[in-house]
Structure 1
Amino acid sequence: MSIGRLLKYLSLLLLFMVVSAAGLLAAAYVYVAGDLPRVDTLSDYRPPIITRVYSDDGAVIAEYSRERRILVPVERLPQQLVNAFVAAEDSQFFRHQGIDFISIVRAAIRNLQAGGIVQGGSTITQQVAKSMLLTPERKFSRKFKEAILAWRMEQRLSKEGILYLYLNQIYLGHAAYGVQAAAENYFNKDVQELTLAECAMLAGLPQAPSRFSPYRNFSGAKERQRYVLNRMADEGFISADEARAAFAEELTIHPRVNRHIAGAAYFTEQVRRYLEQNYGEDLLYNGGLEVHTSMNLGMQQAAQAAVRDNLRDHDKRRGYRGPLRVLAPAEVDDFLLRQQESLDSAAPEADTLHEAVLTGSDERRLRLRLGARSGTIERSEARWAGTIEVVAADRPAAGNANGGRTRLPLGSVVQVRITKVNADGSLSLALEQEPLAQGALIALDPRNGLVRAMVGGYDFGTSQFNRTIQARRLPGSAIKPLIYAAALDRGYTPATLILDNPVIYREVSASGEETEWRPKNYDDKFIGQTSFREALALSRNVVTIKILEDIGLGYALNYARKLGIEAPLPRDLTLALGSAAMTPMELTSAYSVFASGGVRTSPSYIVRIKDRDGRVLESIDPGDFPMGLGAGQRLLGQSPERVISPTTAYLVTNLLESAVQDGTGQRAKVLNRPVAGKTGTTNELKDAWFIGYVPQLVAASWVGYDQERSLGRYETGARAAAPAWISFMQEAVRDLPPAHFPVPDSIEFRPIDPRTGLLTTEDAEHLRFEAFAPGSAPTRYSMDEKDLKAQDFFRLDLEDLY
């Protein structure tokens, strides 16, 4: 056969193969193309994005998402970041039409040489098609579909549009999707603030985000950064000198973004529950809601610290329970080695809690080990644990909860707080223990009902039960201002005299059995004739019971409802002693009526909610809905409502100022500004309260055990709850100017003799300027002791008392 004929046959064969291949490709295209997703859907790119929760000053306090993504418009993406990704992932991006055949061939050769898949030939456009329109399966059919979709995308979308999809969609490790989330994760920066070196490190991550994580493998991340910088130089995006300088730049990899601010967990969890209940999980975790709250971050963190410190102090007054456990001598080294491994990532810091092992002692101090570090506890600083006796490891441990000595065997594991990291690396320590009691603190602005701080317990990590809004506890004497307010509207005045004397209530049950109730005061004493003001300031139980009986239970119950109390209330005189269980939020809201001058505003911890497009869904401000409420929109809270007169509200506040100045709330005087407040202590000291306010802020502190039992001897509201309130308020009002409570124009001040409740001259020996509602001041003058007269519906002969 001649060469010419052979060439002719070969040409025909080649033509046949080309036509056949083209036909097969065309058939495959027709077969596949009909089932492909529509590229048009990408023009309305709405991926899952994070829901962010903000404090009142715009700080992010929590994030909720399944994919942590923050969309960034193309115009906000720095050019050097775009260039870095293009150079590393698809250098021909701005020149091809979705498929780079040269890259495909080059990748195929590399993969054949390696005997496996080591390099892909996908363009950026193909990567977008795969991640957004296809499944991640590794099949030829998927690659074929990917190529078709990439070509179609290039026909319908601009290069900038494709980059927008790519740089917002791509996974870059540690739950970060897109470049903005990654910039925050690794560098704690906005994407526009990234340096060339940081851009190159991010661009090196797509190949293997976990393997080249800057957190886990910084050296590997640096090698990928070098590769990206060299590619940028090769493509002419930067010079070789710029590449070398960027590689030499020292990078600070920040700890992963803590999406729940320390101390804010109880507050943000309440927000999360609200969003889930009202919008569902999908919108909460994927919908990109923007939630603005009323939380003041400084106040919130001060509240958390106040609750924790106060509970620790209370627990120390109850005694030391002994070591957490005791290690055998052979176990100590292994324990310390494991502990050091967990501490390697961060050096111990002052005021943090740890476990430490007791290794020895002398007359002045205890010696301990915390990982590889040594530390000491001065015995003088651990007196709350009694006299500490260090004994051999085989001796039993014993705490001093019931007084006496504490016995600590060598090898005891105890909780400590680092008080100082010394220059030589050793640690100064303080002995600590986890408290068993729980606490809560709620603070709100009485002028608008906005909740500024909410702490529902000692540690959210161990108990998510939010005691400010979920725990119904007996308020004890903290209920009394509500009853006294009702009495003021029934004709009582701050100068009204009442007898504090023994009373007996007898009752016959349905079975005919007679029972007696003999109410008593906390101190088991009766002081005889006392004024309305003094009775509240000193929290006299019997006087309050008498007042409640006089004004009527039905009236008092309705009055409490008017102030915002929704809890079930007993229809008996024990109401005067706080026998109705209610939440701290509920009682604080009622006190806010007094602080606001008689206006009730529903507490609110959410100020505004926007959807991902900026449309307001909920707000406390009617001005956010200028065209009225549309579909899916809601006005939060209720309109402020006047429920008592400004006069009555001021008189209660004025009476509660006396409780701080001269009564059970005297600890609060340390604020050195006008303060109104009231303690609360229940029977058997199971609940301790302090609720108080300044004109700008009202707050309540509660302490008790979840499984009710006594807080201990003398653990009253003043001792167990007030310190947390004071610690919080000292921080909360630091930047608030001292202010007096506004006095309504209708209030009348008159000089009275506190012994008689009658008018006196301004030069009299016994004198008090008393506040009265209009027309309620006495008209008679006190002349001598014959004028002593107690307004008491239990009529007694005063001569029996004087």
Structure 2
Amino acid sequence: MNNYIKYFLFLLFATPLLAAACLIGAYFFVSTTLPKVETLSDYQPPLITRIYADDASIIAEYSRERRILVPFEKMPKTLVQAFVAAEDSSFFKHQGINFVSILRAAIKNVKAGGIAQGGSTITQQVAKKLLLTSERTFTRKFKEAILAWRMEKALTKQEILYLYLNQIYLGHRAYGVEAAAENYFDKNVEELTLAESAILAGLPQAPSRYSPYRHYERAMERQKYVLERMVKEGFITPEEYVQAAQEEVAIKPRLNNLLDVTAYFNEQVRRYLEERFGEEVLYTGGLQVETSINLPMQKVAQQAVKNNLRHHDKRRGYRGAQQVLDDAGIAEFLTKQEEQWATEPLENGRVTEAIIVGQEGDSLLCKIGSREGTISIAKSKWAAPIKFTQNDTEPLGNAGEKKVTLFPRGSVVEVEVLDLESEVVKLSLEQTPLAQGALVAVDPFSGQIKAMVGGYDFAVSQFNRAIQAKRLPGSAIKPLIYAAALDRGYTPASILLDTPLIYENIKEETGKLEEWKPRNYEEKFYGPTRFREALAHSRNVVTIKILEDIGVNYAANYIKKLGLETPQQRDLSMALGSTAVTPLEMLTAYTVFANGGVLVPPTYITRIRDRNGRILESIDPADFATGMADDQRLIRKPPRRVISPETAYLITNIMESVVREGTGWRAKAINRPSAGKTGTTNDLKDAWYVGFIPQLACVSWVGYDQERPLGKSETGSRAAAPAWVDFMKEASKQYPVENFQIPDSIEFHAIDKKTGLLLPEDDKNAYFEVFAPGTAPTRYSGEEKLKAKDFFRLDMEGTL
């Protein structure tokens, strides 16, 4: 018996010693495989890359984990206390491990037959998230405990909380308290109230279960639990508990409504950043990207493009209802609409869908969600005579009659919401346009892109036509050729003959002789025509004669130095815009005229900073010290003068005539000085308007992606200029009304419009023309009869 007692006593004392020895051995064995705690002092978690507009508004974010680092000092005291009370009430007392919590969790796990509760301290959670994996094993828990103990030795409590509160996942892609504060309350973390802090502190246990978005009541119950824990720990008083529990907390989802408005621009920025810095840096590096986009202009630009394309599409006629539903289909359709509008509320001006259910007088009766609506038939005449029918088999009308648009019951049609406030929603009939458009606006002096729209709807097509689509510019190329002619001795008063031309050429493929007979859009010839008048009215024949006179190679090289990098087709068809270019390329060339002769490469990014605020790239040389390495961090080439201020002003002044009396007449609607040029291809497949005021240049383009004619009379003036006008009317309000700056050397002389020669200033027929210094006529009209030097132009001086 005594031996048994001895053995028992031996085991009683030996077992703990053996366990301690095993534990010590395990500690030394495991500790050699653990990461260094010191690495936490250089905490570099994945951060959001943010894109900013020119007013510092956030227009886009790119991330894998939506996290925004915030210093511990900015976190409200009540927020820190709320997390401590909810997650680790003895945090300020223990040394990384809470043995009481571990024992309590172990008992619950044994009862549950598995891992039901963790018992980890905040320090252990930081160790797991930043230094270990999330596997649920004893080995990982052992490592976690060791690391937590080491962290408590190496870091202060505040430093551990800084790591924890910036790293923790709080639901809906929000990592850290700053991102969560934005997500749920649309505010910065330092602005959080006690009630809001308690909601966030209740999320770590189960972010999806206690989501304020999806389970508001459940989130509020969890909030009260956190507040109760704060009272128990002495962090707040019972009175503060009552006040916070009674606070009506507004959950404001962080909706970035600008994503749709700036989508094409954002994608261009994203592509540049990924190409320049790599995908990993883009989505985890926390870049801060400042751009040139101006949000008021961008919103106007997008709406201008959409409205213009819709108007063009309506001129092409109505294509009919999208589909026809039966009663069951109608009910299902309307239910889905209501579910969608619960998160995306319907508003005036929005284009959506409605179902036609009948007709009453001059109105089509509709269902839209749970509400009733009407479409005015009188205001839908663009869709042809409209008739409601009980079936879709009714004939469309007798031969020779105008086509009738039939709407059977259940027809799904596209509509714009005009008035949501009325008892019956007022709607207008719409349809998604088939043509596409693009618009870019640039500050001509800085080259900064202020607005960019690359198509009708980014969600449908991500192809950015503003910078990726190469299309024939048509007559929009003419100002570049006329500028080249000015530098070859022409003046705005030069007289040219608008007469028929015939060119013969043997086609290489067939060996047959072909004839090319260029013609004007109006199918007429106008005889003697002033240089200014020829550009104002976009005379094709005169432009071809000018090009042949100055030389195709000279003109092509001249065009290149204005900013059109695309090699030009070197033949006389260049005069009609036979080489495809992007809208941004064409606009870049026009900015040379707008700013007085300087080529300013366009840019859309002004500065890029890393997560620590260090400038990586900039358009401002002052951001860097001198040296080649720093020069390479400049985002664009420096501006350079490519033509004289006099030539730039002369062509600008002539393009003012395009607006006052020529094809650009629609631009007069902005009620301020502007210069511009329409562009129309011979087959009407592309329509352009490029123009500028002293402070802003803009291009508008319209065409089909799969090239085909836009329709009869769909010229640059009709199809493209309206978007330019709608944009400029609003965008120009940011600038004072100014005239174009006139170089001091420019001369003004009275001339005869018919001959281009001088007239006395008091002559009733005198027209004051502008000239570069020393280029004005020296003879007076009537002193000498006109004589034709050649068939290109009439010689007034005997010197040309």
User: Aligned equivalents of 1:39 and 1:795: distance in 2?
Assistant: 85
- Counterpart in 2 of 1:696? 695
1:143 to 141, 144, 147: 141
2:470 to 469, 472, 483: 472
- Counterpart in 2 of 1:92? 90
Question: Please, which moves more after superposition, 759-768 or 489-498?
Answer: 759-768
User: Aligned equivalents of 1:259 and 1:632: distance in 2?
Assistant: 37
- Counterpart in 1 of 2:272? 274
User: Aligned equivalents of 2:140 and 2:402: distance in 1?
Assistant: 75
Q: CA RMSD in A?
A: 2.1
Say if 1:598 and 1:648, in contact at 8 Å, map to a contact too.
Answer: yes
User: Aligned equivalents of 2:388 and 2:664: distance in 1?
Assistant: 42
- The one-letter code sitting in structure 2 at the alignment partner of 1:536 is L
| CA offsets 1:359-394 (integer angstroms, 9 cap, x no match) | 111221011111211111111221211211111234
Question: Please, which moves more after superposition, 55-64 or 387-396?
Answer: 387-396
| CA offsets 1:26-82 (integer angstroms, 9 cap, x no match) | 122122111111111111110111111111111111111111111111111111111
Q: Please, which runs of 5 or more residues in structure 2 have no aligned partner?
A: none
Say if 1:62 and 1:259, in contact at 8 Å, map to a contact too.
Answer: no
The alpha-carbon distance between structure 1 residues 208 and 795, as it changes in their structure 2 partners (threshold 3 A), is closer
Displacement of 1:335 after TM fit? 2.2
Displacement of 1:111 after TM fit? 3.7
- SS of equivalent to 1:261: helix
Displacement of 1:6 after TM fit? 8.6
Say if 2:658 and 2:677, in contact at 8 Å, map to a contact too.
Answer: yes
Say if 1:498 and 1:791, in contact at 8 Å, map to a contact too.
Answer: no
- Counterpart in 1 of 2:624? 625
Say if 1:756 and 1:789, in contact at 8 Å, map to a contact too.
Answer: no
- Counterpart in 2 of 1:284? 282
User: Aligned equivalents of 2:149 and 2:135: distance in 1?
Assistant: 20
User: Aligned equivalents of 2:631 and 2:591: distance in 1?
Assistant: 31
Displacement of 1:795 after TM fit? 7.3
Question: Please, which moves more after superposition, 501-510 or 689-698?
Answer: 501-510
1:606 counterpart = 2:605: yes
Pairing of 1:497-576 with structure 2 (within 5 A): 497-510=495-508, 512-576=511-575
User: Aligned equivalents of 1:460 and 1:238: distance in 2?
Assistant: 50
Aligned pairs, number: 793
Pairing of 1:191-340 with structure 2 (within 5 A): 191-258=189-256, 261-340=259-338
- Counterpart in 2 of 1:775? 774
Displacement of 1:10 after TM fit? 5.2
Displacement of 1:251 after TM fit? 1.5
Say if 1:468 and 1:584, in contact at 8 Å, map to a contact too.
Answer: yes
Pairing of 1:372-383 with structure 2 (within 5 A): 372-383=370-381
- Counterpart in 2 of 1:35? 33
The alpha-carbon distance between structure 1 residues 789 and 111, as it changes in their structure 2 partners (threshold 3 A), is farther
User: Aligned equivalents of 2:330 and 2:469: distance in 1?
Assistant: 42
| CA offsets 1:451-482 (integer angstroms, 9 cap, x no match) | 11111111111111111111110000000000
Say if 1:499 and 1:792, in contact at 8 Å, map to a contact too.
Answer: no
Displacement of 1:620 after TM fit? 0.7
Displacement of 1:102 after TM fit? 1.3
- Counterpart in 1 of 2:675? 676
1:493 to 468, 478, 491: 491
User: Aligned equivalents of 2:537 and 2:240: distance in 1?
Assistant: 76
Displacement of 1:347 after TM fit? 3.7
The alpha-carbon distance between structure 1 residues 446 and 230, as it changes in their structure 2 partners (threshold 3 A), is same
The alpha-carbon distance between structure 1 residues 410 and 505, as it changes in their structure 2 partners (threshold 3 A), is same
- The one-letter code sitting in structure 2 at the alignment partner of 1:232 is M
The alpha-carbon distance between structure 1 residues 399 and 289, as it changes in their structure 2 partners (threshold 3 A), is farther
User: Aligned equivalents of 1:535 and 1:559: distance in 2?
Assistant: 20
- TM-score of the superposed pair, with normalisation by structure 1: 0.96
The alpha-carbon distance between structure 1 residues 449 and 361, as it changes in their structure 2 partners (threshold 3 A), is same
Q: Please, which runs of 5 or more residues in structure 1 have no aligned partner?
A: none
- Counterpart in 1 of 2:645? 646
The alpha-carbon distance between structure 1 residues 139 and 251, as it changes in their structure 2 partners (threshold 3 A), is same
- Counterpart in 2 of 1:46? 44
User: Aligned equivalents of 2:257 and 2:130: distance in 1?
Assistant: 27
User: Aligned equivalents of 1:545 and 1:454: distance in 2?
Assistant: 33
Displacement of 1:12 after TM fit? 4.0
Pairing of 1:415-454 with structure 2 (within 5 A): 415-424=414-423, 426-454=424-452
- Counterpart in 2 of 1:153? 151
Displacement of 1:226 after TM fit? 0.8
The alpha-carbon distance between structure 1 residues 797 and 634, as it changes in their structure 2 partners (threshold 3 A), is closer
- The one-letter code sitting in structure 2 at the alignment partner of 1:645 is S
| CA offsets 1:268-313 (integer angstroms, 9 cap, x no match) | 1001001111111011111111111111111112111111111111
The alpha-carbon distance between structure 1 residues 334 and 398, as it changes in their structure 2 partners (threshold 3 A), is farther
User: Aligned equivalents of 2:628 and 2:128: distance in 1?
Assistant: 41
Displacement of 1:751 after TM fit? 0.9
- Counterpart in 1 of 2:389? 391
Say if 2:496 and 2:792, in contact at 8 Å, map to a contact too.
Answer: no
Displacement of 1:336 after TM fit? 1.9
- SS of equivalent to 1:125: helix
- SS of equivalent to 1:470: coil
Question: Please, which moves more after superposition, 378-387 or 229-238?
Answer: 378-387
- The one-letter code sitting in structure 2 at the alignment partner of 1:174 is H
Displacement of 1:208 after TM fit? 0.7
- Counterpart in 2 of 1:134? 132
- Counterpart in 2 of 1:482? 480
Say if 2:48 and 2:63, in contact at 8 Å, map to a contact too.
Answer: yes
- The one-letter code sitting in structure 1 at the alignment partner of 2:758 is L
- The one-letter code sitting in structure 2 at the alignment partner of 1:222 is M
User: Aligned equivalents of 2:41 and 2:618: distance in 1?
Assistant: 31
Say if 2:484 and 2:558, in contact at 8 Å, map to a contact too.
Answer: yes
- The one-letter code sitting in structure 1 at the alignment partner of 2:698 is A
- SS of equivalent to 2:96: coil
User: Aligned equivalents of 2:115 and 2:217: distance in 1?
Assistant: 24
Displacement of 1:245 after TM fit? 1.2
The alpha-carbon distance between structure 1 residues 475 and 398, as it changes in their structure 2 partners (threshold 3 A), is farther
| CA offsets 1:696-730 (integer angstroms, 9 cap, x no match) | 11100000000000101111101100010111111
1:585 counterpart = 2:621: no
- SS of equivalent to 2:515: strand
User: Aligned equivalents of 2:469 and 2:281: distance in 1?
Assistant: 29
User: Aligned equivalents of 2:553 and 2:236: distance in 1?
Assistant: 83
User: Aligned equivalents of 2:683 and 2:153: distance in 1?
Assistant: 79
User: Aligned equivalents of 2:674 and 2:395: distance in 1?
Assistant: 47
Displacement of 1:340 after TM fit? 2.3
Displacement of 1:509 after TM fit? 3.8
- The one-letter code sitting in structure 1 at the alignment partner of 2:712 is R
Identity over aligned pairs, percent: 61
| CA offsets 1:99-142 (integer angstroms, 9 cap, x no match) | 01111222233444555544321000000011111111111111
The alpha-carbon distance between structure 1 residues 183 and 649, as it changes in their structure 2 partners (threshold 3 A), is same
Displacement of 1:7 after TM fit? 7.9
- Counterpart in 2 of 1:77? 75
- The one-letter code sitting in structure 1 at the alignment partner of 2:611 is R
- SS of equivalent to 2:504: strand
The alpha-carbon distance between structure 1 residues 533 and 792, as it changes in their structure 2 partners (threshold 3 A), is farther
Say if 1:395 and 1:409, in contact at 8 Å, map to a contact too.
Answer: no
| CA offsets 1:668-694 (integer angstroms, 9 cap, x no match) | 011111100000000121000000001
- Counterpart in 1 of 2:711? 712
User: Aligned equivalents of 1:632 and 1:777: distance in 2?
Assistant: 45
Displacement of 1:16 after TM fit? 1.6
- TM-score of the superposed pair, with normalisation by structure 2: 0.96
User: Aligned equivalents of 2:396 and 2:682: distance in 1?
Assistant: 31
